[in-house]
Chain A
Amino acid sequence: MEKLVSRASLLIKSMKEEGKVKTLTFHQSASIDHKLATGLKKIKTEFETKEKNSRAYVAQVELTCFNR
C-alpha cells in the first residue's frame, strides 16, 4: 500500500525543487520569535493597565445613575 502524503507536503517539496521556498534555521526563527515576544510583553502590560483603569473610570461615572 502506498504511503499517504499530504498535499501541502508534496507542494512544498516541488516548490523547494524550484527554489521558491526558504526555510529559516532554528536560530533565525528563534530570533524573530524573541523580538515578537518582547514587543508583545509591553503590549500586554499596557493593555492590563488600561483595562483596569477604565473599569474604575466607568464605575465612577455611573456612581449616581445606571444605564436606562
Chain B
Amino acid sequence: MLFTQFISKSELTSLVPEFTEAIFGIDRERVTEQLKPIADILIDNIVCFIEYPYVDKFHRDSYYSFFSKKHNHYDKNSIRISFFNEELDVKNYFSNIKNNVIEDYFLGFISLRPTTYRIIGHSFINPRALKNNNFVCCLSSKKVLINGRQFTIHGFPYCSQDNESISCSEAAIINLFDYFGNKYSEYSTILPSQVAKVLSKQSYQRQLPTNGLPTENISYVLKKMGFGTVVYSCDDTNRSSDVFKTNEFKELMYIYIESGIPIIATLSSVKSHHAVIIIGRKDIKDDLSYKKKKSIFKSSNKEYIFSSIFKDLLVMDDNHPPYKMIDYDKPIFNSKTKELYQFKSFIVPLYSKVHLDAFQFKKFFYTIIENFETDPETKHVKFRGEKNSIYRFFLASSRSYKNYIVTSLSISDEFKAIIVDKSMPKFIWIGEIINGDMISVEQKVESIIAVDATESGLTGHLIFATNSRHLIINNTHLSDEEESPNKKYQIFDFGNEIFYTFASNLKGVHTQWKN
C-alpha cells in the first residue's frame, strides 16, 4: 500500500523529518535542517500532501548506476511532498472540481531521496508558492499525477547535489535539460548516468564518485546533446584586453537572461569553484523609484545598458532553496567557510542554428546605427534620442516577435502588415532603445533594430530598423513585385508608431506564472 497523507505546513518540519528517519534511517535533525529553508520560502497558507514510495527518475537512475553497487543499503524510492492551495485538502480532493480550477490549486512538489548529504531530490515549484516572487524568469511546464489526479505545473526544475553521483555541475546540467525537455520537442531530459556516459568518451578518469566538472566538460555535454554552446569567461583582473572584461561579461550575461535562455554560470572563490543556473532577474516594478532613477542616470553619460539597472539575478543554486535572488557583485557567500564566490564564466545553451552571438550582435547594433545615421540616404532617420537612453538587447523567436507586433494596440495595421509579411529566420536579435526618462512598467521604446541571428556571413543581417516615424527594411524577402530584386533597402514613412518593450521571453505575474 502507498502511504499518503495531507499535512499542514507547520508539520513539514516536524512530521516529515520523523517519517524520513523511519523510512530512510537519516537523522531527523539533518532532515529538518534541509527542509526548513524550503519551508521558510513557501507561503503560509498551503497544504502539503506526502506520498511514499515515489519514483524520482533521477534518483532511481543514480541508484541503479551507483548506490546499488555499494555494500550499504540505500532505498531506491523517494518521498514526494506536493503543495496545494489551502482550498484543496483531504475533505474535497476527490470532489468534482473543474479541471481549470483545480490546476490553480496545485503549487508544485519536492521529493526527498535517501542521500544523507543533501536529501532534496527532483523538485518543481511554481513561483506562486513563494512568499517573495518579485522576479521574472524562465518557466517550463510538466504534467504530474498526484493521488489519482493529473495536474500541469509551471516552474523551473530543481534538485540538490548528493555529493556522490551528482555534484553542482551535474545538477545544473540535469535541471537545464529537464527545463528544455519539458518545453521543446527538440530536446529531452538527461539522467545522471547519461551525463557520465557522454563524458566517458573524453574523460581520462572515472566519473563516479563525482569530483565535479570543469566548465569545458559542462559545455561538452550541452554540445553533445544538441545545443550550439557558447562559453564566455571573465578575467576579473582586467589585465588582458584579449578576454571578456568584467563589464562586457556582465552585459553579455544580461543579454542572454533577457533572451529567456537559462545559462549555467560558474563561480570561483580562492579555494573552490561552483556552478549554478541563472534563470531570471528581479522584476522591473521594484526598481522604478525616483531615487533609483537618479542613481542610474547620475553620470553625464546619456547611454545606458539595461544590465546597469539591475543587480539582482535569480538562480537555481543546489546549495540553497530554489529561486534564490543574488546580487551580481556578491553572488554567493559561504557563511561556513567565509568564502566569497565571483562569476568566472557562463555557458549558453544556444539553439544550434543561432550563429550570431550576443557579443557580435551588440557591437553590430552600434555599427548599424552609426552607418544609418551618417549615410546620406538614411541620415534623416535618427535612432538615438536627445535624452537618456537605455539599450536593451535580446534574442527572440520570429514567431513570438511577430505575435508581439500584431497584438500591440499602439502599432498601425500598415506597420503590422509589412513586418508580418516579411520572411524572417527562426531566431532574430532585437536591440531596443528605451526612453530612460519615461521608464515605467510598460516602457516606451524609441527605436528597434532586428538582425538575423542565423546569419554568420558578413552581409544580409539586417531585417528592419525603425524609429517609430520611419522603417528601414531589407526587402530581399518582402514581396514587392514591381521592384527589381537588386534594389534592397526601402524606407517607409509612418505617422507615429508607439512601441512598448517586448516582454514574452521571461515569465512572471504578467503571464500568471505560466509558461
Contact = CB atoms under 8 A, between A and B. Distances in A.
Interface of A: 5-9, 11-13, 15, 20-26, 28-33, 35-37, 39-41, 43-44, 46-47, 49-51, 53-55, 57-59, 61-62, 65-68
B235 interface: yes
Contact of B242 (A44, A49, A58): A49
A12 B418 contact: yes
A37 B375 contact: no
Contact of B368 (A23, A36, A53): A36
Contacts of A12: 418, 478, 480, 490
8 contacts: A8-B478, A12-B418, A22-B490, A43-B363, A55-B231, A55-B233, A57-B233, A62-B273
Interface of B: 161, 167-169, 210-218, 230-235, 240, 242-244, 266, 268, 271-275, 344-345, 357, 359-360, 363-364, 367-368, 370-372, 375, 377-378, 414, 417-418, 421-422, 458-462, 475, 478-484, 486-494
Contacts of A50: 242-244, 359
A44 B355 CA distance: 12
Given A28-B489, A31-B375, A57-B235, A68 B367 contact: no
Contacts of A43: 359-360, 363-364, 367
Contact of B487 (A13, A25, A58, A68): A25
A7 B459 CA distance: 28
A8 B377 contact: no
Given A8-B478, A32-B371, A54-B232, A24 B488 contact: yes
Given A28-B377, A40-B458, A51-B231, 8 more contacts: A7-B417, A26-B488, A32-B371, A40-B360, A51-B232, A54-B231, A61-B268, A68-B169
A44 to B, nearest CB: 6
Given A43-B363, A67-B169, A37 B458 contact: yes
A53 B215 contact: no
A56 to B, nearest CB: 9
In the A-B complex, the 3 residue pairs with the closest CB atoms? A68-B212, A29-B488, A39-B367
Contacts, number: 180
Contacts of B494: 20
A32 B243 CA distance: 30
A48 to B, nearest CB: 10
Contacts of B478: 8, 12
A59 B218 CA distance: 12
B488 A33 contact: yes
A24 B167 contact: no
The secondary-structure label for the interface of chain B is mixed
B66 to A, nearest CB: 16
Given A9-B480, A44-B360, A66 B490 contact: no
Contacts of B271: 65
Contact of A68 (B210, B357, B360, B378): B210
A12 B213 CA distance: 56
Contacts of A66: 167, 169, 211-214, 217, 273
Nearest to B215: A58
Contacts of A29: 486-489
B273 A67 contact: yes
A3 B478 CA distance: 18
A51 to B, nearest CB: 8
A36 B421 CA distance: 25
A37 to B, nearest CB: 4
Contacts of B492: 15, 20-21
B243 A54 contact: yes
A53 B216 CA distance: 13
A15 B240 CA distance: 53
Given A21-B491, A28-B489, A11 B233 contact: no
Contacts of B216: 55, 58-59, 62
Nearest to A11: B417
Residue among A41, A47, A58, A62 with max Cβ neighbours from chain B (10 Å): A58
Contacts of B480: 8-9, 12
A67 B359 contact: no
A6 B480 CA distance: 9
Contact of A67 (B167, B370, B484): B167
Contacts of A47: 357, 359-360
B459 A62 contact: no
B357 A67 contact: no
Contacts of A21: 490-493
A9 B359 contact: no
